[in-house]
């Protein structure tokens, strides 16, 4: 039986909706486990269902799920496609949940490979897809390489090395049983090693999960004097993204409060509280507060009123903003201009009117231009490989836990070694360094054997 | 005119000839010295980790190494008892004289085997098909030929600064065959191995060494014939060690060793797993001592083999080294250690059935394929023999998969990955070690032996009885339930096991690692043979792990089932990486699974290749 695989079928960061495809015998069962809505197991083939992806009790994303039963599917296996609406984070979260529930992460091209192997697509079709996959794989490799330059990679490699040594050591014990002068790897020694390795990998796992790698998206602030149209701008942006804005529960006001997806560019809105309040209560955001926000932000939208002269506070802020990714949004261009444009030299300026949809589009274009597509794609690939690495890491830790329970059940070294080898293999997939001969080489390099 | 000619009378050659005879073929075994059939030119032992399992596999298929070893052993041991079920194996100390005698007797039992003394020098080939061989005097015609030339091809014996063209133990070397193979297009590689000195047991002071005894119960390699032997007559081995003085002698004279400057023209590669004593001293500088096992060569011979002391030092240094060792101070060296260089072919030029890709019906087995070890040779010998017969009968090749047998791992490794140094089987080379156990060799392979008619009626009956008994006891364990009463729980507590809460079958109880099969005798009298008990215990206890391994193996098999048609031009396949194109063209894998194991061929290449094959099949 082939394993059930899951993967993001659409390029992340491009398009507001991303599709996660799940294929294999268990596809419907697994998705059903993490889905609130109707019972997918009873769903007819080729039907679409509305509901939520959940992790435990928590709703992760609002989704549409397509159920396609074998054999009339892309892979000729049972296929479930989840249309995620929540942007990259929710998509990856959903993928993670699938992997935690028994799916294997699809290798690049694996759906097509299955489609082909199961006789679903013919040569010409497959070749076309393969071309695409090949180029994707190259990007993936580059991204994986970049990501793995860092200290995380070194740390994973260090643990893998420990496992390699341990396995080689056990192999020597097995293949040269009479060489008593080589220290015997006991169950106890395995236990100690496994505990240490697991602890270290758990740290890496937590760090990766919490870290920047997962929290992709551009931290954005909208600032400006009272009544310049900040909330109108926000509302227009939200208008376009009605289904996509999600309040992340439990975050403090300082952190991300909502997400906007502008044709694939994700904006994490920081501190919108002040803006929202302006609806019923005028609240002045002081220069000090604005400067603080600028520090935190990766993109600053500074809104100015076309109809007013720039005051000293605004001028101060403009100076600060120039050093960062910023857009000075001149609102109310339908009114008479009072702004001295000279004071905005060297700044990114977009003139809009929140009443005119077309003018707002200019702002969106500007944002997309600033964070150009290629850059985003690179970023997302880093993200994707990182989601993959994290999934692999998660699996590794699960195997280490299995080993611990086998140790508790007094299983012999031989049996434990089989799972150690699985750990070694998974870690190798993360760093891209697994090759079978390695253990044997290690064996001969480090131990003195002979007849 | 013969059906099959086997060139070489070593462990590969004997298996090949005998199995072909069982196929009722007219066989000619050509060897340079009939009196030296089935020689053990190195260690006087058979079996060991992984290798011992191969012996049982050969036996399960109808081969002879297991039975002859059982008949000729003077000490049996079970290795890795405490390490777990999948790594246990038998090893026998062999009476070399007896082994050779018994093998010759076995060969002579088969009236359709003709033994010929001669040295094969060339092959007779027509239209890329083998027709026979030429010796120095004569031509012999055959429909298939199996080359099992061991370490004889252009063999050189190296001792100190001397190089002498000679086979192992002063046997005649084969001078011309490897050049003629090269002319046919075979890549010749040069390998090296070595052997330690043999000393006179009457001059060894065993009293100062540690005695190593055999197992305290009768063990047999054979799956079909359980010999009872006198445990009191088991011969011991002895353990001694090198010491700082030994190491000093070696360091002071290091440049006199052939490999460390004694000879300037060393082009061969020695085995990593079998370094000489000088290698060990130079590479592991901080080790204070190295183990040396003293193993009797035979009951009649005074020779004792010093395992661990293989070297290519000149004889006067060998004298110094040996005499520096505890227990050997006054001993007499009967034969000196030497290194031996020999030609082999690149095994990537073989198909999975061990037939050469260049010449039809020409097969190769044993050390000529870059392996080392009697067991590895026997495993290839039987497979080459079977496949030569199947070729002649126009039947499908017999290829063992990596999840079926160590023999499968061995041959797949050889033909897919090639060799750099002489190849030795290791348990770590097998992905599905838990499936390839010592206890289940017959369950894995005897149905093949039966299918090809290589097992006699009696053997098949023994095998079927075993399966029946196994099933019966398995069923009984499943049917017998025990309840959580005080008596049972007290008993379990005594065995350091947890109390029962609900009733449980003995089958499930046995899954607990601390509960041995014997412990179940309290509830169910299991009066089965030890062999059945062993099989039963492993099968039940490790059921979960075994199933996991089987599942992994199935995944591999899916790719294994996809055949790659012959004659693909890999350079014409778009998108295939250049390295993959080159490697695939060289190795010409027969299945997608094999292609997947070639180093340098990536998963994306496999996907593209699978697309291409499918297209070819559809005629696009």
Q: Are strands B291-296 and B45-47 parallel, antiparallel or unpaired?
A: unpaired
The answer to whether residue A334 scores a pLDDT higher than 90 is no
Q: Which residue has the tokens 């100690």?
A: A192
Q: Please provide the size of chain B in residues.
A: 620
Model confidence pLDDT, tens digit, residues A189-205: 899 999 999 998 887 77
Residue of B nearest to A169 (CA): B428
Between the alpha carbon of residue A212 and those of residues A206, A215, B218, B497, the distances in Å are: 12, 5, 65, 48
Of A114 and B406, the structure prediction assigns the larger pLDDT to: B406
Q: What's the whole-number average pLDDT of chain A?
A: 73
Which among B459, B378, B386, B396 is positioned nearest to B20, based on CA atoms?
B386
pLDDT, position A76: 86
Tell me what ipTM this predicted complex has.
0.78
Cα A282 from Cα A252, distance rounded (Å): 22
Classify burial at B255, counting beta carbons within 10 Å of its beta carbon; exposed 0-12, middle 13-18, buried 19 or more. exposed
pLDDT tier at A259, thresholds 50, 70, 90:
low
The answer to whether residue B274 scores a pLDDT higher than 60 is yes
Cα B7 from Cα B13, distance rounded (Å): 7
Q: pTM of the prediction?
A: 0.73
DSSP string, A371-386: T-HHHHHHHHHHHHHH
Instruction: Name the residue facing B428 among A133, A415, A439 (closest C-beta).
Output: A439
- Chain A CB contacts of B599 under 8 Å are 435, 437
- Chain A CB contacts of B275 under 8 Å are 448-450
Chain B contact for A410 (CB, 8 A cutoff): yes
Q: Which two tokens stand for residue A185?
A: 């790897």
Q: Supply angle C-alpha A78, A81, A82, rounded to 5.
A: 140
User: To probe the interface with A, which of B79, B84, B281, B433 has the most A CB atoms within 10 Å?
Assistant: B84
Mean pLDDT value of segment A349-361? 75
Residue B128 DSSP SS3 = coil
Across chain B, how many H-helices and E-strands are there? Answer: 19, 22
B293 contacts A178? CB cut-off 8 A: yes
The answer to whether residue A143 scores a pLDDT higher than 60 is no
Of A120 and B239, the structure prediction assigns the larger pLDDT to: B239
B43 contacts A1? CB cut-off 8 A: no
The interface residues of chain A toward chain B in range 218-277, judged by CB-CB distance below 8 A, are none
pLDDT, position A116: 65
Mean pLDDT value of segment B457-468? 96
Instruction: Name the residue facing B513 among A171, A410, A448 (closest C-beta).
Output: A410
pLDDT, position B561: 85
Of A119-123, A340-344, B231-235, the one with minimum mean pLDDT is: A119-123
A130 contacts B607? CB cut-off 8 A: yes
**Alpha helix segments (H runs only) across B311-373:** 315-323
Which among B81, B86, B89, B97 is positioned nearest to B47, based on CA atoms?
B89
Contact B149, B8 (CB under 8 A): yes
Contact B265, B339 (CB under 8 A): no
> A175 to chain B nearest CA, in Å?
5
A179 contacts B604? CB cut-off 8 A: no
Q: Which helix (H) or strand (E) holds A302?
A: strand A299-305
Which among B307, B423, B530 is positioned nearest to B54, based on CA atoms?
B423
Distance of CA A192 to the CA centre of its chain: 33
Contact A311, A259 (CB under 8 A): no
Of A264-273, B222-231, B455-464, the one with minimum mean pLDDT is: A264-273
Cα A143 from Cα A216, distance rounded (Å): 15
Of A166 and B454, the structure prediction assigns the larger pLDDT to: B454
pLDDT, position B596: 84
**Alpha helix segments (H runs only) across B354-440:** 374-392, 406-417
> A412 to chain B nearest CA, in Å?
5
Cα B509 from Cα B507, distance rounded (Å): 5
Q: Which two tokens stand for residue B95?
A: 């009476």
Taking residue B351's Cβ as centre, other Cβ atoms within 10 Å add up to: 17
Q: Which residues on adjacent β-strands are paired with residue B355?
A: B363
Chain B contact for A2 (CB, 8 A cutoff): yes
A444 contacts B84? CB cut-off 8 A: no
Q: Which helix (H) or strand (E) holds B293?
A: strand B291-296
A412 contacts B514? CB cut-off 8 A: no
Which among A96, A45, A170, A44 is positioned nearest to A388, based on CA atoms?
A96
Cα A150 from Cα A212, distance rounded (Å): 14
B607 contacts A133? CB cut-off 8 A: yes
Mean pLDDT value of segment B129-154? 96
Between the alpha carbon of residue B260 and those of residues B276, B312, B317, B446, the distances in Å are: 11, 9, 14, 48
Residue of A nearest to B417 (CA): A437
Q: Which two tokens stand for residue A154?
A: 């070194």
Instruction: Name the residue facing A131 among B310, B513, B575 (closest C-beta).
Output: B575
Alpha-carbon Rg for chain B, nearest whole angstrom, is 26
Mean pLDDT value of segment B567-583? 82
pLDDT, position B94: 97
Instruction: Name the residue facing B274 among A133, A174, A450 (closest C-beta).
Output: A450
Q: Which residue has the tokens 């007499």?
A: B332
The answer to whether residue A247 scores a pLDDT higher than 60 is no
Highest-pLDDT range among A419-433, B387-401, B557-571: B387-401
Which among B329, B411, B292, B327 is positioned nearest to B363, based on CA atoms?
B411
| Percent of chain B with pLDDT strictly greater than 90 | 77
SS (H, E, C) B449-503: HHHCCCCCHHHHHHHHHHHHHHHHHHHHHHHCEECCCHHHHHHHHHCCCCCCCCC
pLDDT tier at B294, thresholds 50, 70, 90:
very high
Cα A401 from Cα B278, distance rounded (Å): 44
B49 contacts A176? CB cut-off 8 A: yes
pLDDT, position A387: 59
Which among A261, A257, A231 is positioned nearest to A244, based on CA atoms?
A261
pLDDT, position B444: 97
B272 contacts A123? CB cut-off 8 A: no
pLDDT, position A214: 35
Instruction: Name the residue facing A173 among B83, B433, B554 (closest C-beta).
Output: B83
Cα B536 from Cα B601, distance rounded (Å): 41
pLDDT, position A382: 34
Residue pairs spanning A and B at CB distance below 8 A: 148
Cα A93 from Cα A79, distance rounded (Å): 20
pLDDT, position B62: 97
pLDDT, position A119: 62
Residue of B nearest to A441 (CA): B272
In B64-135, the DSSP E strands lie at: 73-79, 89-94, 113-117, 120-126, 129-135
Mean pLDDT value of segment B153-161? 95
Model confidence pLDDT, tens digit, residues A27-49: 999 999 999 999 999 999 999 99
Which among B363, B451, B387 is positioned nearest to B25, based on CA atoms?
B387
- Chain B CB contacts of A411 under 8 Å are 84, 513
Contact B191, B269 (CB under 8 A): yes
Q: Are strands B188-195 and B338-345 parallel, antiparallel or unpaired?
A: antiparallel
pLDDT tier at A217, thresholds 50, 70, 90:
low
Q: Please provide the size of chain A in residues.
A: 451
> A182 to chain B nearest CA, in Å?
10
Distance of CA B390 to the CA centre of its chain: 23
User: To probe the interface with A, which of B87, B240, B564 has the most A CB atoms within 10 Å?
Assistant: B87
Mean pLDDT value of segment A305-317? 84
Chain B contact for A130 (CB, 8 A cutoff): yes
Mean pLDDT value of segment B488-506? 92
Q: Supply angle C-alpha B330, B333, B336, rounded to 5.
A: 145
Domains contained in chain B, CATH given: 2-38+110-193+341-438 (3.50.50.60), 198-339 (2.40.30.260), 473-545 (1.10.10.1800), 561-617 (1.10.150.570)
Q: Which residues on adjacent β-strands are paired with residue B248?
A: none
Cα A316 from Cα A219, distance rounded (Å): 22
Q: Which residue has the tokens 């790897």?
A: A185
pLDDT, position A433: 56
Instruction: Name the residue facing B604 among A116, A133, A173 (closest C-beta).
Output: A133
pLDDT, position A181: 62
pLDDT, position B203: 97
List all residues 6 or more positions away from B370 whose beta carbon is below 8 Å from its beta carbon. B189, B191, B344, B345, B346, B347, B414, B418, B419, B422, B423
Distance of CA A387 to the CA centre of its chain: 5
The answer to whether residue A252 scores a pLDDT higher than 70 is no
pLDDT, position A93: 83
> A122 to chain B nearest CA, in Å?
7
pLDDT, position A399: 93
Of B240 and A339, the structure prediction assigns the larger pLDDT to: B240
Cα B378 from Cα B337, distance rounded (Å): 25
Contact A287, A260 (CB under 8 A): no
- Chain A CB contacts of B608 under 8 Å are 130, 134
| Helix A110-117 vs helix A123-147: crossing angle, to nearest 10 | 150
Of A190-204, A262-276, B187-201, the one with minimum mean pLDDT is: A262-276
Q: Which two tokens stand for residue B586?
A: 């060289």
pLDDT, position A254: 39
Cα A69 from Cα A83, distance rounded (Å): 17
pLDDT, position B361: 98
A3 contacts B555? CB cut-off 8 A: yes
Instruction: Name the residue facing A414 among B85, B196, B558 (closest C-beta).
Output: B85
Contact B415, B351 (CB under 8 A): yes
Q: What's the whole-number average pLDDT of chain B?
A: 93
pLDDT, position A400: 95
Highest-pLDDT range among A94-98, A176-180, A289-293: A94-98
pLDDT, position B620: 43
pLDDT tier at A82, thresholds 50, 70, 90:
very high
The answer to whether residue B337 scores a pLDDT higher than 60 is yes
B545 contacts A418? CB cut-off 8 A: yes
Torsion angle in degrees (nearest 10) through CA of B181, B183, B187, B188 = 60
The answer to whether residue A445 scores a pLDDT higher than 70 is no
Chain B contact for A134 (CB, 8 A cutoff): yes
User: To probe the interface with B, which of A175, A409, A422 has the most B CB atoms within 10 Å?
Assistant: A175
Of B513 and A28, the structure prediction assigns the larger pLDDT to: A28
């Amino acid at each position: 039986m082939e394993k059930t695989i899951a993967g993001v079928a659409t390029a992340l960061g491009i398009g507001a909706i991303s599709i996660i495809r799940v294929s294999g015998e268990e596809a419907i069962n697994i998705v059903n486990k993490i889905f609130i809505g109707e019972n997918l197991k009873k769903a007819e083939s080729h039907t679409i269902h509305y509901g939520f992806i959940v992790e435990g009790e928590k709703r992760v994303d609002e989704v549409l799920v397509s159920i396609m039963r074998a054999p009339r599917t892309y892979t000729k296996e049972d296929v479930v496609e989840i249309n995620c609406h929540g942007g990259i984070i929710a998509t990856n979260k959903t993928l993670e949940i699938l992997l935690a529930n028994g799916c294997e992460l699809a290798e690049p091209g694996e759906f097509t490979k299955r489609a082909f192997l199961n006789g679903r697509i013919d040569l010409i079709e497959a070749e076309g897809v393969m071309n695409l996959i090949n180029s994707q794989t190259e990007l993936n490799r580059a991204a994986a390489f970049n990501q793995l330059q860092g200290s995380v990679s070194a740390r994973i490699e260090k643990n893998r090395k420990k496992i390699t040594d341990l396995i080689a050591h056990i192999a020597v014990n097995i293949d040269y049983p009479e060489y008593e002068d080589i220290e015997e790897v006991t169950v106890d020694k395995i236990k100690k090693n496994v505990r240490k390795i697991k602890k270290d990998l758990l740290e890496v796992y937590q760090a990766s999960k919490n870290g920047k790698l997962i929290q992709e998206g551009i931290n954005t602030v909208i600032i400006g004097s009272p009544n310049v149209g900040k909330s109108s701008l926000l509302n227009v942006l939200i208008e376009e993204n009605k289904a996509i804005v999600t309040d992340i529960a439990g975050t403090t006001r300082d952190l991300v409060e909502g997400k906007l997806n502008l044709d694939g560019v994700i904006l994490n809105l920081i501190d919108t509280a002040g803006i929202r309040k302006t609806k019923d209560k005028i609240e002045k955001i002081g220069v000090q507060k604005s400067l603080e926000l600028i520090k935190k932000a990766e993109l600053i939208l500074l809104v100015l009123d076309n109809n007013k002269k720039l005051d000293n506070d605004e001028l101060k802020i403009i100076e600060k903003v120039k050093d960062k990714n910023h857009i000075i949004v001149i609102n109310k261009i339908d009114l008479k201009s009072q702004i001295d444009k000279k004071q905005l030299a060297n700044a990114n300026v977009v003139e809009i009117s929140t009443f005119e949809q077309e003018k707002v589009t200019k702002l969106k274009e500007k944002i997309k231009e600033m964070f150009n597509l290629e850059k985003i794609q690179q970023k997302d690939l880093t993200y994707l490989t990182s989601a993959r690495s994290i999934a692999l890491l998660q699996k590794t830790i699960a195997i280490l836990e299995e080993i611990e329970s086998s140790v508790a059940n007094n299983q012999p070294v031989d049996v434990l070694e089989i799972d150690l080898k699985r750990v070694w293999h998974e870690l190798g997939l993360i760093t891209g360094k697994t090759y079978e001969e390695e253990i044997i080489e290690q064996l001969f390099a480090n131990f003195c054997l002979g007849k | 005119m013969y059906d099959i000619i086997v060139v070489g009378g070593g462990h590969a050659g004997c298996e090949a000839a005998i199995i072909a005879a069982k196929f009722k073929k007219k066989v000619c075994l050509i060897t340079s010295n009939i009196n030296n059939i089935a020689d053990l030119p190195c260690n006087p032992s058979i079996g060991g980790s992984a290798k011992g399992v191969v012996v049982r596999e050969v036996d399960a298929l109808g081969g002879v190494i297991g039975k002859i070893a059982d008949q000729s052993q003077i000490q049996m041991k079970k290795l890795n008892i405490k390490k777990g079920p999948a790594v246990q194996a038998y090893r026998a100390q062999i009476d070399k004289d007896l082994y050779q005698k018994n093998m010759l007797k076995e060969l002579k039992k088969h009236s359709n085997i003709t033994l010929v003394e001669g040295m094969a020098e060339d092959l007779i080939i027509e239209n890329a098909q083998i027709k026979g061989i030429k010796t120095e005097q004569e031509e012999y015609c055959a429909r298939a030929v199996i080359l099992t030339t061991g370490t004889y091809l252009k063999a050189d014996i190296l001792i100190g600064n001397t190089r002498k063209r000679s086979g192992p133990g002063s046997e005649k070397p084969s001078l011309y065959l490897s050049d003629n193979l090269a002319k046919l297009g075979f890549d010749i590689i040069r390998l090296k191995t070595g052997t330690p000195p043999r000393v006179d047991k009457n001059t060894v002071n065993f009293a100062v060494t540690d005695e190593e005894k055999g197992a305290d119960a009768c063990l047999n390699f054979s799956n079909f014939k359980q010999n009872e032997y006198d445990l009191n007559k088991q011969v011991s081995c002895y353990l001694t060690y090198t010491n700082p003085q030994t190491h000093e002698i070696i360091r002071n004279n290091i440049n006199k060793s052939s490999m460390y400057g004694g000879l300037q023209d060393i082009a061969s590669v020695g085995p990593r797993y079998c370094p000489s004593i000088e290698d060990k001293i130079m590479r592991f500088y901080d080790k204070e001592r190295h183990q040396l096992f003293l193993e009797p060569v035979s009951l009649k011979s005074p020779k004792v083999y010093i395992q661990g002391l293989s070297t290519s030092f000149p004889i006067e240094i060998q004298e110094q080294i040996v005499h520096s060792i505890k227990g050997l101070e006054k001993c007499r060296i009967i034969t000196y250690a030497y290194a031996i260089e020999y030609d082999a072919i690149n095994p990537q030029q073989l198909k999975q059935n061990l037939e050469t890709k260049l010449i039809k019906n020409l097969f190769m087995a044993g050390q000529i394929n870059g392996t080392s070890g009697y067991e590895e040779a026997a495993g290839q010998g039987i497979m080459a023999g079977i496949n030569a017969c199947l070729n002649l009968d126009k039947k499908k090749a017999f290829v063992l998969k990596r999840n079926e047998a160590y023999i499968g791992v061995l041959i797949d490794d050889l033909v897919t990955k090639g060799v750099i140094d002489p190849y030795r089987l290791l348990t770590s080379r097998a992905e599905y070690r838990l499936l390839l156990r010592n206890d289940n060799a017959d369950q894995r392979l005897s149905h093949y032996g039966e299918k090809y008619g290589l097992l006699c009626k009696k053997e098949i009956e023994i095998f079927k009885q075993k399966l029946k008994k196994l099933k019966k006891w398995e069923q009984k364990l499943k049917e017998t339930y025990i309840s959580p009463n005080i008596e049972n729980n007290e008993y379990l507590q005594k065995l350091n096991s947890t109390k029962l809460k609900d009733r449980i079958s003995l089958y499930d109880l046995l899954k607990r690692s601390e509960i041995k099969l014997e412990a179940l005798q309290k509830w169910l009298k299991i009066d089965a043979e030890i062999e059945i008990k062993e099989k039963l215990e492993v099968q039940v206890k490790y059921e979960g792990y075994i199933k996991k391994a089987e599942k992994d193996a199935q995944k591999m098999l899916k790719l294994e089932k996809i055949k790659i048609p012959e004659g693909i031009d890999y350079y014409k396949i778009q998108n295939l990486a250049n390295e993959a194109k080159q490697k695939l063209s060289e190795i010409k894998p027969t299945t997608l699974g094999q292609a997947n194991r070639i180093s340098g061929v990536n998963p994306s290449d496999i996907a593209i290749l699978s697309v291409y094959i499918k297209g070819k099949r559809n005629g696009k």
